[in-house]
A and B are shown apart, each in its own frame.
Chain A
Amino acid sequence: QSALTQPASVSGSPGQSITISCTGASSDFGSHHLVSWFQQHPGKAPKLMIYEDSERPSGVFSRFSGSKSGNTASLTISGLQADDEADYYCCSYADGWVFGGGTKLTVL
């Protein structure tokens, strides 16, 4: 299974924008593998934030957006709010599902 690499941590101030990257190890990651993103607050179950690289489920704020270019998918959060502080995971399917290692977002 392909590995997905995320930065361990990112931070930003309220109102700013941040981007979390997710890089696939295999050469065909970008063209064939859809990416989803999950938010997890401490002690809570994960929540789907983005699917099919850039689609938002109903109820997810438009401040959250996803994109993909080549081997790297990205989650961008604009207008940071205190409640955005959480762990974020990317996920993709390649002969089974693989999660990235997770990124801890700190809102300063």
Chain B
Amino acid sequence: EVQLVQSGAEVKKPGESLRVSCKGSGYRFTNYWIIWVRQMPGKGLEWMGRIDPGDSFTTYSPSFQGHVTISADKSITAAYLQWSSLQASDSAMYYCARLRRSEHDILTGLYPLDGFDIWGQGTMVTVSS
């Protein structure tokens, strides 16, 4: 079964650091980009950034650039989202997801940039003093 499994809920204090994980299984991890999405309580989805697990190349939304770091360890098929200094405003649900690719896309090296087909279950992060 193709799946992304995220680490469990976290409760942290402002200023603390945190790393959330997203482990892929059931597919070739390096063939698909992983994205991270934030959903604040009662609000919509926000794209944070993406990583190519094959070479760890990342791009970030301007809204999150400099505040979070996305990384990956292809040897254990895991992607990560981390903060060095959490703020109360970081309290939210965080999802990882896989960018869809067809077999043809993989063979030809294309990334369609459209459609996240597999999602993790989400990691709830609560930051409170």
Q: Which residues of A contact B (CB under 8 A)?
A: 1, 34-36, 38, 40, 45-48, 51-52, 57, 87, 89, 91-93, 96-102
- Closest B residue to A58 by CB, please name it: B117
Please indicate the chain B residues that have their CB under 8 angstroms from the CB of A34 in the complex.
112-114
Docked complex Cα distance between A1 and B50 (Å): 16
Instruction: Say yes or no: B115 contacts A100, CB within 8 Å.
Output: no
Within 8 A of A (CB), among B19-74: 35, 37, 44-47, 50, 59, 61-62
Q: Which residues of B contact A99 (CB under 8 A)?
A: 37, 44-47
Please tell me if B82 contacts chain A, counting CB pairs below 8 Å: no
B103 to A: closest C-beta gap in Å: 13
Q: Considering the complex of A and B, which 9 residue pairs feature the smallest CB-CB distances, nearest first?
A: A51-B115, A34-B114, A97-B47, A45-B119, A102-B44, A99-B45, A93-B113, A36-B115, A48-B117
Which B residues are closer than 8 A to A by beta carbons?
A: 35, 37, 44-47, 50, 59, 61-62, 95, 97, 100, 112-117, 119-122
Query: 18 A-B residue contacts at CB 8 Å?
Result: A36-B115, A38-B45, A45-B120, A45-B122, A48-B115, A51-B117, A52-B114, A52-B115, A89-B45, A91-B45, A92-B114, A93-B114, A96-B47, A97-B47, A99-B37, A99-B47, A100-B44, A101-B44
B116 proximity list for chain A (CB < 8 A): 36, 38, 46, 48, 91
A57 with B117, Cβ < 8 A, contacts A34-B112, A96-B59, A99-B47 known: yes
CA distance A91 to B120 in the complex (A): 18
A99 to B116, CA, bound (A): 12
Contacts of A1 in B (CB 8 A): 61-62
**Closest chain B CB from A31 CB (angstroms):** 14
B71 nearest CB across to chain A (Å) = 19
Is B100 in contact with A51, judged by CB distance below 8 angstroms?
yes
A21 to B79, CA, bound (A): 33
Q: Verify B47–A98 contact, CB threshold 8 A.
A: yes
B73 CB → nearest A CB, Å: 22
Q: How far is the CA of A57 from the CA of B116 in the complex (A)?
A: 11
Task: Report B-chain residues with C-beta under 8 Å of the C-beta of A97.
Answer: 35, 47, 50, 113
Residues of B within 8 A of A36 (CB): 114-116
